[in-house]
Structure 1
Amino acid sequence: MNRSLFIVLLIAFNIAIDQISKVIVRTTMIKGGKGQINVIQDYFQLIWVENKGAFLGMGSDMNPTLRLIFLLVLPTLVLAYVIYYILKTKELDRLSLIAFCCIAGGGIANVFDRIVFGEVTDFFFIDLGGVFKTGIFNVADMSVTIGMVMLLFSGVFNSKKKEKIA
């Protein structure tokens, strides 16, 4: 498959999965936790909230101008650079390429929500009985997180590979 087409399709796939999941949540759930759904008892729940801030609501109490700059303008510039970087950097290994596409797709999906709705729809919640507990997040957040983990793994894997060669 053509490399550029692969990049566009993978980014579009990440955006589509996120947006489809958010449409389902917005059309079938009750906002604000009143209609929470226990998927796996209290360990994994669906709770629909709208987040004006960034990760875990950070920045939701900023004044509107700062929120526009830090949650819309800067992320858009960073995402544009990431897309430019992955399209132009032909020597990226496949894992890094996929990782960057996941990061870009998830980022674009959340920026899209901010532009269209003024806030981001979140709905996943995990609580493993005090051992591990998340804030409420969405598919785009998972894409970005998985992409970051893949990028870290790729960096470690590639540095070990270079050590063996040297």
Structure 2
Amino acid sequence: MKSQSMWKYGLFAMIVVIGVALDQWSKWYAESWLATERPGFFSHPIVLEVPQEAEGTTVEEYLGQTFEANSPEEVKAMAQLYTRTEDGVHLRPETELEAGQIIEVTNRDVTVIEGYWDFQYTRNPGAAFGLFADKDSEFRKPFFLGVSLLAVLIILGLLRGVQNDQKLLLWALALIAGGALGNFIDRVRYGYVTDFIVWKYTDVYRWPTFNVADALICVGVAFMVIEMIRDMLRERNQAGEAIEIEAQA
């Protein structure tokens, strides 16, 4: 019995750790390789140091070599509109770069599936999918930190009652805990959560920007709902079998 309990907690911890690691790694990618400038809100450029082998290349050529995930048209737009020196001086696409020079790219998105899926950097001071982002910051941060910690404590309490045959429920609780911890880390470090995944249908319909932690929470909730439905069906079947046995007796 003790070994079964240890297995349950061990699997839960492993799922949580992997989920948090994946979430933090993906946010590191967004912080490092995506850029957004929103005057009056925040500025998040990509800061690049020109390597020795790139000396003499033009801005457009260097950006094309650095951002291989972008199309030539996107690279050209970045070189024309969104590239500057660290002092804020705008650079032209044909400007030749020097080794060791620091340049900043102020806007960069990545198209994963044209018209459906993009990576775009943004900062969310609210809950998942931007909920409550417009609330006062003095209230918002302690509120979400408290909610995240409370959610993890509740999950740990529920975990104690998970039976050995409820593996889907175990995964559900672990995914929700991993997502909550991933966003909790962001709020402690920055006071906001990094979002960067955009799902849309062309430019008409757009799902609120989210991150891996949000996705883990949503999948975990879906698993929990499935497990609840399965439990209801099992109980109904058991009740039907009991009635049958009584009727036969």
Fold-level similarity (TM above 0.5): yes
Match for residue 126 of structure 1?
199
**Structure 2, unaligned runs of 5 or more:** 1-5, 39-106, 240-249
Match for residue 26 of structure 2?
21
2:121–2:195 contact (8 Å) kept in structure 1: yes
Once the two structures are superposed, residues 21-47 of structure 1 have per-residue CA deviations (whole angstroms, 9 ceiling, x without a partner) of 111111111135931111110211101
Residue 234 of structure 2 aligns with an amino acid whose one-letter code is: K
2:115–2:203 contact (8 Å) kept in structure 1: no
User: What secondary structure is seen at the aligned counterpart in 1 of 2:132?
Assistant: coil
Shift of 1:104: 0.5
Q: 2:139 aligns with which of 66, 70, 81?
A: 66
Once the two structures are superposed, residues 80-114 of structure 1 have per-residue CA deviations (whole angstroms, 9 ceiling, x without a partner) of 2212321x224261101100100010011001100
User: What secondary structure is seen at the aligned counterpart in 2 of 1:135?
Assistant: coil
User: What secondary structure is seen at the aligned counterpart in 1 of 2:206?
Assistant: coil
2:124–2:130 contact (8 Å) kept in structure 1: yes
1:32–1:49 contact (8 Å) kept in structure 2: no
Shift of 1:68: 2.5
- Give, in whole Å, the separation in 1 of the partners of 2:207 and 2:162: 36
Match for residue 31 of structure 1?
36
Aligned-residue Cα RMSD (Å) equals: 1.9
**In proportion to residue count, which structure has more strand?**
2
2:162–2:169 contact (8 Å) kept in structure 1: no
Shift of 1:132: 5.8
User: What secondary structure is seen at the aligned counterpart in 2 of 1:42?
Assistant: coil
User: What secondary structure is seen at the aligned counterpart in 1 of 2:17?
Assistant: helix
- Give, in whole Å, the separation in 1 of the partners of 2:188 and 2:181: 10
- Are residue 103 (structure 1) and residue 176 (structure 2) matched? yes
What is the TM-score with the length of structure 2 in the denominator?
Answer: 0.62
Shift of 1:165: 1.5
Match for residue 137 of structure 1?
210
**Shift >6 Å, 4+ stretches:** none
Once the two structures are superposed, residues 99-141 of structure 1 have per-residue CA deviations (whole angstroms, 9 ceiling, x without a partner) of 0100010011001100011110101111124896311000000
- Are residue 146 (structure 1) and residue 219 (structure 2) matched? yes
Identity percentage of aligned residues: 25
User: What secondary structure is seen at the aligned counterpart in 2 of 1:2?
Assistant: helix
**Structure 1, unaligned runs of 5 or more:** none
Residue 91 of structure 1 aligns with an amino acid whose one-letter code is: Q
Shift of 1:48: 0.7
1:101–1:147 contact (8 Å) kept in structure 2: yes
**In proportion to residue count, which structure has more helix?**
1
User: What secondary structure is seen at the aligned counterpart in 1 of 2:27?
Assistant: helix
